[in-house]
């Protein structure tokens, strides 16, 4: 999904952009860091652990305005998008959304994204670090008669957590009745918005596309509810990791295909054929038929050892390196370390004992089903 990105990408202060909520972040005590060409809050005074647990128990408000929003228009926008992604877009009802991927000719993943079908267009949300390349690729490869409109005049907020529905319904009663993975226009306290019941934290919640010049007003109205706290990139990353959700550029990238990534569920049966008409369809069809040589798995290290990205995964029986950690950290909800990794397919079953090479020392770990923490995320 168009998920969170770790705050590791830099830029000089003069080069960095600011979202419409920049001043609000400073007023809330946000610690600003460079990410994907923007200055973004990595945490607030509550701290990453506190923000994480607040989102799991109440409601957290995230600024995700750095992500890319766009609209494909034309006589059959859904079919046009299907020439670029493996997801079933034409099968969506109006106002329904789907997680899918932009693929390469060899079955790799350019990016993951969310697509919502409307009458006359498809609305897209893509990852911040990839949006310029994504939009250039989409615009260059759409069938004749279709176009891509980039929506630079909109901000994007995510309201996530078990109390998110009650919070938003107090300002827009219809929000409470929205189905998961649906999107519709809603007036929120007098502000016209486009709202989806979706998110990337493992919790129930919403993503709210709002005119950029009204984003600060809307965020202020949401934060005025005592159940809501501002949440930064740090907790956004730990939340999605506990939920077992991929981070583009880390758990999935150009070298991985959706099947081995455990994303086969996002590809409908009719799109699993070699002639499905999107880039890499034959490679992905073969992966379904033959099974992948490696798989993305969850790992629980023993004790309190944190296995960071890049840590080698070892078969303790042979001493052979059989994989690599792609995301790892402390899971506040489970009160311990969790990780995701690519491992050889024959060692990917839950319960398999493996080892991690952490700073030259072998540390036990066990393959675990994801999500790691109880959650409300519904596919």
Per-residue pLDDT tens over the stretch 51-93: 999 999 999 999 999 999 999 999 999 999 999 999 999 999 9
Inter-residue contact 60 to 51 (CB < 8 Å): yes
* Residue 5 binned pLDDT confidence (cut-offs 50, 70, 90): very low
pLDDT recorded at residue 23: 98
Q: DSSP code of 252?
A: B
Mean pLDDT of 16-31: 98
Encode pLDDT of 314-372 as tens digits.
999 999 999 999 999 999 999 999 999 999 999 999 999 999 999 999 999 999 999 99
Judged against a pLDDT cut of 80, whether residue 14 lies above it is answered with no
Cα gap 141→80, rounded to integer Å: 9
**Per-domain boundaries in the chain:** 17-67+153-243, 293-368
Please give the average per-residue pLDDT across 117-142, as a whole number: 97
pLDDT tens digits for range 229-262: 999 999 999 999 999 999 999 999 999 999 999 9
Q: Which residues belong to the annotated binding site?
A: 207
Res 44: pLDDT: 98
Confidence band, pLDDT 50/70/90 cuts, at residue 2: very low
**pLDDT for 372:** 92
Give the per-residue pLDDT at 7: 47
Find tokens 């295909």 and name the residue.
257
293-306 pLDDT, tens digit each: 999 999 999 999 99
Is a pLDDT exceeding 60 seen at residue 378? no
Confidence of residue 373 (pLDDT cuts 50, 70, 90): confident
Share of the chain above pLDDT 70, in %: 95
What pTM value is reported for the model?
0.94
Q: Is residue 9 pLDDT above 80, yes or no?
A: no
Same fold yes or no, 17-67+153-243 and 293-368: no
Q: What is the pLDDT of residue 12?
A: 57
pLDDT, average across residues 148-164: 98
Percent of the chain's residues with pLDDT above 90: 94
Quote the CA–CA distance of 375 and 168 in Å, as a whole number: 20
Residues 156, 158: Cα–Cα separation, whole Å:
7
What local confidence, expressed as pLDDT, does residue 71 receive? Answer: 98
CATH class for domain 293-368?
Answer: mainly beta
Write out the binding residues for substrate: 207
Tell me how far apart the alpha carbons of residues 143 and 4 are, in angstroms, rounded to a whole number.
30
Predicted local distance difference test score (pLDDT) of residue 13: 67
- Under the banding of pLDDT at 50, 70 and 90, the label for residue 374 is low
Write the CB contacts of 11 (distance below 8 Å, at least 6 apart in sequence).
34, 37
- Listed in sequence order, the residues at least 6 apart from 137 whose beta carbon sits closer than 8 Å to its beta carbon are 84, 102, 110
Select the CATH number that applies to the domain covering 17-67+153-243 from these four: 3.40.50.620, 3.10.450.50, 3.30.230.10, 3.30.1360.120: 3.30.1360.120
CB–CB of 275/98 below 8 Å?
A: no
**Rg value, the chain, Cα:** 20
Contact 347, 299 (CB under 8 A): no
What does pLDDT average to over the chain? 95
pLDDT digits 0-9 by tens, 169-180: 999 999 999 999
Stretch 96-105: mean pLDDT, rounded?
98
């Amino acid at each position: 999904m168009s998920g969170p990105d770790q705050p590791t990408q830099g830029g000089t202060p003069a080069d960095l952009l600011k979202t419409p909520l920049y001043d609000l972040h400073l007023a809330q005590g946000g610690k600003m860091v460079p990410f994907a060409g923007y200055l973004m809050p990595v945490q607030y005074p509550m701290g990453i652990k506190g923000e994480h647990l607040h989102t799991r128990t109440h409601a957290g408000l995230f600024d995700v305005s750095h992500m890319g929003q766009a609209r494909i228009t034309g006589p059959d926008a859904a079919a046009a998008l299907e020439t670029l992604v493996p997801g079933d877009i034409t099968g969506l009802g109006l106002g329904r959304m789907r997680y899918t991927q932009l693929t390469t000719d060899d079955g790799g993943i350019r990016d993951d994204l969310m697509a919502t079908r409307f009458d006359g267009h498809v609305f897209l949300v893509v990852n911040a670090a990839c949006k310029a390349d994504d939009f250039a690729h989409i615009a260059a490869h759409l069938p004749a008669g279709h176009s891509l409109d980039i929506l630079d005049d909109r901000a994007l907020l995510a309201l996530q957590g078990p109390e998110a529905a009650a919070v938003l319904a107090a300002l827009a009663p219809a929000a409470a009745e929205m189905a998961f993975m649906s999107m519709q226009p809603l007036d929120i306290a007098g502000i016209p918005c486009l709202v989806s019941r979706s998110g990337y934290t493992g919790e129930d919640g919403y993503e709210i596309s709002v005119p950029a010049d009204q984003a600060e007003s809307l965020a202020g109205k949401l934060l005025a509810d005592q159940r809501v706290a501002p949440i930064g990139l740090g907790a956004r990353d730990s939340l999605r990791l506990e939920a077992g959700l991929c981070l583009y550029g880390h758990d999935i990238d150009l070298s991985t295909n959706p099947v081995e990534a455990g994303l086969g569920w996002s590809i409908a049966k009719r799109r699993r054929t070699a002639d499905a008409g999107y880039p890499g369809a034959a490679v992905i069809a073969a992966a379904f038929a033959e099974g992948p040589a490696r798989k993305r798995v969850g790992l629980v290290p023993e004790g309190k050892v944190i296995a960071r990205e890049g840590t080698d995964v070892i078969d303790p029986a042979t001493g052979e390196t059989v994989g690599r950690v792609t995301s790892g950290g402390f899971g506040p909800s489970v009160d311990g370390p969790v990780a995701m990794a690519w491992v050889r397919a024959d060692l990917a079953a839950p319960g398999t004992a493996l080892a991690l090479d952490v700073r030259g020392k072998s540390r036990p770990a066990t393959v675990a089903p994801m999500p790691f923490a109880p959650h409300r995320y519904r596919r």
